[in-house]
Amino acid sequence: MSEKATGGDFVVFDHVQKSYDGETLVVKDLNLSIGKGEFLTMLGPSGSGKTTCLMMLAGFETATHGDILLDGKPINNISPHKRGIGMVFQNYALFPHMTIAENLSFPLEVRKMGKSEREEKVARALGMVQMERFGGRRPAQLSGGQQQRVALARALVFEPDLVLMDEPLGALDKQLREHMQFEIKHIADNLGITVVYVTHDQTEALTMSDRVAVFEDGRIQQLAPPDELYEKPCNSFVAQFIGENNTLQGEVKEIKDGLAVVKLDDGSLIDAMPVNVDKAGERTQLSIRPERVEFNMERLNPGAHTLQAEVLEFIYMGDIFRTRLRVAGNDSFIVKTRNAPDQVRLEPGQTVEIGWQAEDCRALDA
Amino acid sequence: MSDVTETIPQDSPEQGRKKSDGKIRAADGTSLKRSLNRALRRQKLRALILIAPLLIFVLVTFIAPIADMLFRSVENQIVAQTLPRTTDALADWEAASGQAPGAPVYKALYEDIFIAQERKLHTRLGSRLNYELTGASSLFRKSGRGVGDMGEVYQDQFEDFDDFWKMGENWNAFLGSDEWLAEIQAWDKASGDDQPAFEMRDGMEELFPQTAAKYEIFADFVQYEDEDNLYKEDPWALIYSSFYDDLTGPTATQIAAYDGPAAAQIKAATAAAADFETVDYAAAFADVDKDWAETPIWETIQTYSGPFTNGYFLNAVDMQKSPDGAELRPENQRVYGTLFLRTLFMSLMITGSCILLGYPVAWLLANLPARTANLLMILVLLPFWTSLLVRTSAWKVMLQQQGVINDTLVWLGIVDNFNRLALINNQTGTIIAMTHILLPFMILPLYSVMATIPPAFLRAAKSLGATNWTAFWRVYFPQSVPGIGAGSILVFILSIGYYITPEIVGGTTGTFISNRIAYHISSSLNWGLAAALGAILLAVVLALYWAYDKIVGIDNVKLGG
């Protein structure tokens, strides 16, 4: 993963800007390099500019400023049908008046491919998504998941090097979506194609991608592999957007040996890893994942600061317990613990002492 | 959760209970179907009540008149009703013989026409037969006047012989029953009571069959159509000729033994009648008009004596009846075939030009932002808010030789001033004006179908490598076909029955079959032919609709959604 994740320059966005109305920028100075064979996900809330970026790459929108390069060549002025980029649309966009086989055959026909070659490629593409038996059906006769597979096969049948996917799993139910995530990932890995994937579902982004670009406000907030994104968010937006996250407001008291001591608003002190803060006196937002909170004091480093917390609610969720605490004035501080045989079940009303490893708690911009 | 599952019987996967007969039953054991029907009955009744006013309105003002009108295309009772005796007598006559029919037919014709002219029905019959044989109308009008003279021969002789026969009272006393005579003499018109209906004296029908039959008709006519006092009314000349027939006819011997009222006068009249001058009806009719001595009028009467006829339909497809069956009319009399073909051809042209002009507009409407699209849509609908007549008249101003379009073309130097284009009073004019008028009917269904085609399809096609044209032709166009289908059906069916516009701008070469139908309804009054033409038009439309369903499939027609 990491060798692909180092980037490369198969697809390059070079200072790309986009405005629809000439007054506001939807995409602000986008710089992004995508390596060959990489699975890159553009993740972000709606209106963050991620789909616009995808459409510019596909050729359906033109960049207002900057260059987009594909395999070293600028493609700004190349019309979409000459770019040779496969695309899977949000609602699949399977042509309803054609059978599945005809849908798959379409990109080959417009490339003036011979009949036998077409049939062979269509059969192979259908085989790839386990849809061999459905070639004669119409899209309306297929379930959502099947249509999804066909859309994928159609985007791949003409063997593009780059495939774009615009929230392709948005219309599927949860189970099917998870299944398709793996399938798409495997097919992409097997074929060695480059995928640019747009989604607003962070789980999808984390499970599938080599790298994830988190979009917000027309900018990439963080571009990193999933584990880094989750464990080392570089600002409070990313920390909030990816996964569940507890926040505490405070002020940096001192930074020493790469660790920060933060004075929370209720006066208590706690250790954190300084990320976006560099000097004492700065306001900061602490971010700590619910599963990294400890209340077994023996597992903390000696001398670590701890906080008093009141248990408000205990929720049994099967594999995990979810406990809501009041910590330093924050009523929605969540702790997740594994449902292990020796796990402690906290009772509402109880007061406990909690703490964490300093590197799990990140001091971000306020 | 577990409690609920246990209450469902193990052996029934359905929600109802299955009895041994295999029917699914509701909880109380009645058939599920029946209880469903009962549950839905109220709803259905409500729905029926809601549509009832419209349903009744449509039935009374639309369906019934159309059915009646269509029935006229085969209905032909007027001949047999007006000439009952003649058509009976004519039944055995062979047209192929080339001979005019025998004397009994002429006598029957005399009687029929006499009664018809009293009732003023003979001219209507004449108009009816005139559709089939030119000249029949005047022939019957003349004959109506002629039959009076024929009857008067006998009337005069009887009256000259004995004044007794002049008086209506005497005839009534002779033929009427005693009770009726008493009643009618006591009746006072001023009292407002109904006139006592005439009753024949017993035995008269056997003794004087012809006289009695005619007198019944006469009495009926006087009492109920003329509403005069029958008692004072002098009989028709027809009665005298029938009386003569009876006196000299097969019942003469029984009449000799008659001893009822007026027996003495009858005896005297019988003796005198032997020397009466008689009428040769055949010669008399030939005298009125020589056409009666020829075969064509008899052939026509015989051919159209049935209560139903296919004559109007044959006429509507340029055919006519002949002794050898149906045959095409002579070439110079064929009108309707050309008109039907022209109507179809022009409707197709109009539909085609509507598609060509409407498709881009609908595409633009469907792909513009909502605000602009709404504005454009108002422009499309604007013509609907103007009277059809005004729009058509406007085209008259635009298209005429000294009109706006020609003036502009001449000014631009495209057309020579002395060679201005003939854009009106021909097919071009009709096609131009009707395309304009029917265009919204094409644009609206096209638009509503196109609005449902997601733009993603075109993008998908392009991303798969299709050029703009291929993407449109292979992906967008096939999906817009249902809209074209719906628009075409609308425009085609509207135009095939269009009347006002072709009437105003069509001249002679640009008119439709509907203009001909209107002519027969309001000018020539040949409603039967109009109905036949209308029925054929309806059949053609239905056949085309059927063909369209077979070829394109009616499921492929969408007006939206």
Give the residue from A356, A12, A21, A154 showing the smallest Cα distance to B460: A154
> B484 and chain A: CB distance < 8 Å anywhere?
no
**Cβ–Cβ under 8 Å, residues A351 and A326:** no
- pLDDT for residue A6 is more than 70: no
Cα-based distances in Å from B475 to A58, A138, B10, B467, B478? 19, 14, 52, 11, 6
**Residues B141-178: pLDDT tens digits?**
989 888 888 888 888 888 888 888 888 888 888 888 88
Asked if B465 and A84 come within 8 Å (Cβ–Cβ), the reply is: yes
- Interface predicted TM-score of the whole assembly (ipTM), two decimals: 0.83
Measured between CA atoms, how close is A204 to chain B, in angstroms? 23
Q: Tell me how far apart the 2 most distant CA atoms of chain B are, in Å.
A: 119
Question: H or E segment at A336?
Answer: strand A330-338
Cβ distance A113 to A79 under 8 Å?
no
Long-range Cβ contact pairs of B252-257 (< 8 A, separation 24 or more): B254/B206, B254/B207, B255/B207, B255/B208
pLDDT in tens, B284-296: 888 888 888 888 8
Mean pLDDT of B199-210: 86
Task: Tell me the pLDDT tens digit for each residue of A299-322.
Answer: 777 777 788 899 999 999 989 999
Closest CA to A168 of A123, A205, A130, A211: A205
Say if the Cβ atoms of A154 and B464 lie within 8 Å.
yes
CA distance B37 to chain A (A): 33
- DSSP string for B449-475: HHTTS-THHHHHHHHTT--HHHIIIII
Interface residue of A54, A55, A75, A89 to substitute, partner B, most B CBs within 10 Å:
A89
DSSP assignment letter at B200: B
Phi first, then psi: give them for residue B363, nearest 5 degrees: -65, -45
Looking at A131-145, A206-220, B180-194, B421-435, which range is the least confident one? B180-194
Instruction: Name the minimum distance, in Å, from the CA of B13 to any CA of chain A.
Output: 26
pLDDT at A1 over 50: no
* C-alpha to C-alpha distance for B171 and B166, rounded to whole angstroms: 9
> Do residues B505 and B425 touch, judged by C-beta distance below 8 A?
yes
Interface test with A, best of B463, B472, B476 (most A CBs within 10 A): B463
Contacting B with CB below 8 Å, chain A residues are 58-60, 79-87, 89-91, 93, 95-97, 106-107, 110-111, 154-155, 158, 164
CB pairs under 8 A between A and B: 67
User: B465–A86: do the CB atoms touch at under 8 Å?
Assistant: no
Q: Which of B454, B459, B471 sits opposite A60 (nearest CB)?
A: B459
Compute the nearest-CA separation of B475 from chain A (Å): 7
Inter-chain touch B457–A106, beta carbons under 8 Å: no
A126 Cβ contact partners less than 8 Å away, ≥ 6 residues apart? A100, A101, A104, A132, A134, A135, A150, A153
Q: Is B145 on the interface with A (CB under 8 A)?
A: no
For residue B466, the chain A residues in CB contact (below 8 A) are 81, 106-107, 110
Interface probe for A, chosen from B367, B462, B464, B480 (most Cβ of A below 10 Å), is B464
Q: How far apart are CA B278 and CA B175, in angstroms?
A: 24
Among the partner residues B456, B465, B479, nearest to A110 by beta-carbon distance: B465
CB B497 within 8 A of CB B537: yes
Q: Which of A97, A99, A138, A196 is most worth mutating to test chain B (most B CB atoms within 10 A of its CB)?
A: A97
Per-residue pLDDT of B35-58, as tens digits, reads 888 888 989 999 999 999 999 999
Interchain pair B470, A110: CB under 8 A: yes
> Residue A355: is its pLDDT beyond 90?
no
Domains of chain B: 3-72 (no CATH), 84-300 (no CATH), 337-556 (1.10.3720.10)
Q: CA of B468: which chain A residue's CA is closest?
A: A81
Interval A49-79: pLDDT, tens: 899 999 999 999 999 999 999 988 999 889 9
Query: B454 — contact with chain A (CB < 8 Å)?
Result: yes
B158: helix, strand or coil: helix
Minimal C-alpha gap between A229 and chain B (Å)? 32
At A208, list the tokens.
């599938």
Partners of B471 on chain A (C-beta within 8 Å) are 81
* Alpha helix (H) residue ranges in chain A: 2-5, 50-58, 100-109, 115-128, 144-156, 174-191, 202-208, 226-231, 236-241
pLDDT band at B3 (very low <50, low <70, confident <90, very high): very low
Contact residues, chain B, for A138 at CB < 8 Å: none
Confidence bin at A5 (pLDDT 50/70/90): very low
